[in-house]
Structure 1
Amino acid sequence: MSAVQPGYAPPTRPDQVGSGRRRQRWLVVAAVVWAVLLAGLTWWSVRNDPPTVKEQRSLDQAGPVVDRAIGELSAAVGAAGVPALLPDRLERDCRVTPLERGTALERGIEVATAGGDARDVLRRVADRLPSEWRAGVSSFDGEPLLRADAGDFVAVEGRPGGPGRVLLTAATGCRPVGAGYRAPAADAAGESAALARALGRWGGATGAVQVLTAPCPGGGTARTARAEAAAPADQRLAAAFGAGAAPVVDSVDRYARPGDPAVLAERVDERVRVAVTTSCPS
């Protein structure tokens, strides 16, 4: 037996050198196989698994979900009031993560009611929404609040918007922009013509006509044409809209009449804002 000199490692035998090299090769092979397997699982998951957080869905993917939700809400309003689609709202430069900026989309419907209990209106809407949305009405800060889940992390809410008014919204929350949001387009010639006739009483629209649309659950589209005109305070709003169904609201400053199309008008200072709407079938 040979002695080992202190301070020196013992010599490596030839069989130990070969064993170490084989172990290193197997470790490299195992690492490569694991990387390939992980990449394959990631590829499959992206294409087949549902998103687990809203940050995995960009705005161009979530936007159509919001549009369909507005169509469902339009159909759910039914006879609960007189609806009109609202212009979409985009909040840019919100925070998706502390390091990533994004954009949030919100679309809505205003519903004119005859007054009374907004909670009852919200319950009637909630009862008509798809069952998978799990819609319900609770209380928040002493006021009724409708909440529902339209899928793909799109939140639906409804709340009082003032006397005789309920607001229904669908929102994405902050998302990566992706290709961005494109509002659905549709022909609203009938609604625009009815709007022009009404505003003609006050000299015509003072600005551009906004046309807003949303796809209906059973096909077709909900459509709203909106504009405003200068209107003296001593002229009643109802006179601009002729004969039709009995109005839900008929006051000096507000007028709402159901029908096909429905009419919603509101005076703000010396201007009147008018929305003419064809809703989704209920």
Structure 2
Amino acid sequence: MTTLPTVIGIAGATGLVTGLGALPVFVRGRVSHRTYDAALGLAAGLMVAASVFGLILPGTEEGSLEAVLFGLLVGGTGLLAGNRLIPHLHARYRGWRAEGGATRADAAGMVGKGTATGADGSDGSDDSDGDDGRAAILDAALRRALLVGGAITLHNAPEGLAIGVAFASGLEEVALVLAVVIGLQNVPDGFAFAIPMADTGMGNLRVLAYTALSGTIPQVLAATVGFSLVSLSTGLFPVAAGFAAGAMLAVVFREMIPSSHGHGHSDAATAAFLVGFVLLVVVDAVVVV
């Protein structure tokens, strides 16, 4: 039986791989929109295949189909509800999209050097205000950090949950497949996060660090929760697996596929999606065998 520290270590390593996706920011002048869309397509293909082969099918083998489908619907609708209720910012190739109560000003504030700017290009503060002006800028920066963190948590938590659930249920092979695939998926996922973050004027090393943490923290916390809950009752695995799969599928169809289309590179994104799906099948076959 895998222990919780081992699960935390594996989830942490999987999350840290997200930082590799930030490496292109060091040469971001040569990163094309086609590459960005293809990276999202690749990640989407990996996540869809992982949801099916790593969660839904093992869930039906360990329990009833009804339990898995119930968890899937709850996980998917829960993710959609979170998108509406939790204020957050979603990263786009050349900007940010405000959702769930976040404002356009929050998204606009990610332009420049991470400070909210006015129509005249000022940072919205008055030098005569002194400490009050600086405090307002810090408050705005903190709000944006929380908004971005909300989006990251919504996106990455289901992946960590899937790893924890699989390990807690004694399905080490399934859990390892998920860990490998989620690690692969985290690279283009980190790329998608890092490019707009770099466009705020943030230093490359900070972008690299924040991108790595964006995958590590939510996945470790979610893996811990998933492992702890299912350890209490192994009968929860079918529902928990369906829940994680539903949330991951909702992320793919709600965020990743739309973000990879509409820019003239749909074919590249679709081809990358197919490559990602096939790659997961190969990884699954190799690890299980």
- Name which structure has the greater RCO, CA cutoff 8 Å, separation 6+: 2
TM-score by shorter chain over 0.5: no
- Which protein is richer in helix relative to its size? 2
> TM-score normalized by structure 2?
0.21
- Which protein is richer in strand relative to its size? 1
Give the structure with higher Rg (CA).
1
